[in-house]
Structure 1
Amino acid sequence: MSEAAALSRKQLLFYLLFLILMWGINWPLTKYALEFSPPLLFAGLRTLIGGTLLLVVALPRWRKLRFRETWPYYLCSAFLSIVFYYGFQTVGLQYMPAGLFSAIVFLQPVLLGLFAWMWLGEKMYTRKMIGLLLGFAGVAAMSIGGLTGGVSFIGILLALASALSWALGTVYIKRQSAKVDSLWLTAMQILIGGGVMTAYGSTVESWSEVRWTGAFLYDTLFISVFVIALGWLVYFKLIASGEASKVGSFTFLIPVVSIICSVLFLNERLTVNLLAGMALIVASILLVNARPRRLSR
């Protein structure tokens, strides 16, 4: 039986709500943490903690690790989904407001829909494509002219690179899911990715620049446990439960949460573009998840 059959509609809804909330909160929390730590060291530290927690959870299933056979999958997934995604993201947040940066990253569901069609054999029809484009238009509407703050060309490039690596990582994991245990894949990619970023960050940044305040520690632990360890477990479970492009369409809601939290807690301002963007996103989700009509003849 596949993981898809194991998820009830209530479980699916719960996982989606959890993921949207946690990954939406992640952006302003990360932006705040960068006041206390250099970006690469923080990116490495939070993923290393999250990966260690998942390693402890996975240890009772150690026979399913099969590291000699499966290490290439773990390594490739670690670089695409963790090192590149979090590395570009954490550095890029220094150049742009958290809400705006997260909005640009959410070109990812559009890329994921295209890649899933090209490499996973998922169906691509006009309604789905329009839905994906509407979702990105909604994200753009919330950011272009909707938020005040500097717009950096470097920041835009880093946001786009983050989106590309996330989409490629998701498709890669979906393709290789039958060859590796899902819990070990999640744990190892995060642990390897965290180790790589921590090691590289230690060579180009200084640990003496980290201010180990209570706020920074609480922020880091929350992100490590709920955003990274539990968030990635839930994300991969959702991807395994159905079409990657349909799950991706719901992630358009993540920048909505991010922007609202950024407005409330980071004093980032916005206009009525938020309402227009939310309407487009709702339309996007409905179109992507609606079943195409079968031809009567």
Structure 2
Amino acid sequence: MTVQASTSRVGNGYAPGRLLTPFMPAVFVWLWSTGFIGAKYGLPYAEPFTLLLYRTLVTLMLLGLMAWWMKPQWPSARESGHVAITGLLVHGCYLGGVFYAIQDGMPAGLVSLIVGLQPLVTALAAVLVLGEGVRLRQWAGLLLGLVGVGLVLLEKMGLGPVETFSPWTLVWALIALLGISLGTVYQKRHCQQVALIPGAIIQYCATGCLFAMGGWWFESSEVDWNLQLVLAIGWLVLGLSVGAILLLMQLIRMGAASKVASLFYLVPPVTALEAYILFDERLGMLAMMGGGLSVLGVALVVMQKRGGIS
């Protein structure tokens, strides 16, 4: 299977047509932004690794049904190893780090700000590992996006003092940042020819083992089952684990890793808008300015010149 063939199909079915392709980044940003809301609803009733383990198990059941129906081609043992590493980085390190940082007392806005550095880390890794060319205009866009994210989150934190937390909490946030950054680059380099559904199943199997061990070592594994938790897990599975992750892997295949990473700059402004709609949180002038800067930064990174992608 050539790289061209692998990028035109999802499993054994055709990937979204050209008419849908322009909307894929916007859909991804929206889906990814809802993960913070889902975590906020679920974490009061289950510890982080335990919650993520149940999310992973339900996801595997759905993906198993999809694989049974689509009957895609499965990767070789060597390819499966690369896919498992990607899963441990993108799912295990990122999700585990974010959930535990919030659980341990770090403000959600500060966690988002730290993870918001991901496009810069990914762009640097793409240059060093993949040899991707990043122009001065694109670097300017990445930095501008970072400023925009900072303005949005500065307002969300109320311009007040940062809450105190242990150094280990900061370590969890940095693990999340490095996991999603390195996972994006690793996926781009080693997993291009793996069908999406089998790849996702392998990733979640590896990640499920990590969450199971983490829950056994660090947590009580107790769960307060109720409708809110069930709905939170349901959305985290359908919207994030299946929808957003498969879309992310497809976007990584379609474009340079640094350009895909720039989409994460749009997540905090979208999350702020969702919080305004759902929880009546104030969306002031500073946040709107920051959102505008983030959109402009993404445009500088991803816009094309005549004759090809700059």
TM above 0.5: yes
Map of 2:127 onto structure 1: 117
- TM-aligned CA distance change 1:152 to 1:15, over 3 Å: farther
Stretches of structure 1 that go unaligned for 5 or more consecutive residues are none
Structure 1 distance, partners of 2:38, 2:192, is: 34
Deviation, structure 1 residue 271: 4.2
1:74 match: secondary structure:
helix
Q: Deviations over 1:28-62 (max 9, x none)?
A: 22022111111111122212322332232123566
Q: 1:272 aligns with which of 255, 269, 285?
A: 285
Query: What is the RMSD of the two structures over their aligned residues, measured on CA atoms?
Result: 2.6
Q: 2:116 aligns with which of 89, 101, 106?
A: 106
Map of 2:12 onto structure 1: none
Structure 1 distance, partners of 2:153, 2:170, is: 12
Structure 2 distance, partners of 1:70, 1:12, is: 27
- TM-aligned CA distance change 1:151 to 1:133, over 3 Å: farther
Structure 2 distance, partners of 1:253, 1:158, is: 22
TM (normalized to structure 1)?
0.88
TM (normalized to structure 2)?
0.84
Letter in 2 for 1:118: L
Q: Say if 1:103 and 1:139, in contact at 8 Å, map to a contact too.
A: yes
Deviation, structure 1 residue 265: 4.0
Structure 1 distance, partners of 2:233, 2:145, is: 30
Structure 1 distance, partners of 2:65, 2:205, is: 11
Map of 2:262 onto structure 1: 249
Q: 1:183 aligns with which of 178, 197, 209?
A: 197
Letter in 2 for 1:147: M
- TM-aligned CA distance change 1:106 to 1:263, over 3 Å: same
Q: 2:150 aligns with which of 136, 140, 143?
A: 140
Mapped pair 1:282 → 2:295 = yes
Structure 2 distance, partners of 1:66, 1:276, is: 46
2:124 match: secondary structure:
helix
Deviation, structure 1 residue 156: 4.3
- TM-aligned CA distance change 1:104 to 1:9, over 3 Å: farther
Deviation, structure 1 residue 244: 1.7
Letter in 2 for 1:72: G
Mapped pair 1:72 → 2:85 = no
Q: 1:91 aligns with which of 73, 96, 100?
A: 100
Letter in 1 for 2:240: V
Deviation, structure 1 residue 263: 4.3
Deviation, structure 1 residue 253: 1.0
2:45 match: secondary structure:
coil
Q: 2:188 aligns with which of 155, 174, 186?
A: 174
Structure 2 distance, partners of 1:51, 1:198, is: 14
Structure 1 distance, partners of 2:282, 2:118, is: 24
Structure 2 distance, partners of 1:102, 1:13, is: 26
Structure 2 distance, partners of 1:4, 1:122, is: 22
Deviation, structure 1 residue 129: 0.4
- TM-aligned CA distance change 1:282 to 1:179, over 3 Å: closer
Map of 1:14 onto structure 2: 23
Deviation, structure 1 residue 88: 0.3
Structure 1 distance, partners of 2:89, 2:71, is: 24
Which stretch shows the higher mean deviation, 143-152 or 92-101? Answer: 143-152
Q: 1:211 aligns with which of 218, 221, 224?
A: 224
Deviation, structure 1 residue 268: 5.6
1:212 match: secondary structure:
coil
Map of 1:53 onto structure 2: 62
Structure 2 distance, partners of 1:236, 1:199, is: 26
Which stretch shows the higher mean deviation, 136-145 or 81-90? Answer: 136-145
Q: Deviations over 1:94-148 (max 9, x none)?
A: 2233344223211111211221222222211110001011111111111135423
Mapped pair 1:128 → 2:138 = yes
Structure 2 distance, partners of 1:55, 1:195, is: 17
Deviation, structure 1 residue 173: 0.8
Q: Say if 2:273 and 2:283, in contact at 8 Å, map to a contact too.
A: no
Q: Say if 1:105 and 1:160, in contact at 8 Å, map to a contact too.
A: yes
Deviation, structure 1 residue 63: 6.8
Q: Say if 1:100 and 1:143, in contact at 8 Å, map to a contact too.
A: yes
Structure 1 distance, partners of 2:209, 2:136, is: 42
Aligned length: 293
Letter in 2 for 1:282: V
1:124 match: secondary structure:
coil
Structure 1 distance, partners of 2:192, 2:30, is: 29
Map of 2:45 onto structure 1: 36
Q: Say if 2:266 and 2:294, in contact at 8 Å, map to a contact too.
A: yes
Stretches of structure 2 that go unaligned for 5 or more consecutive residues are 10-14
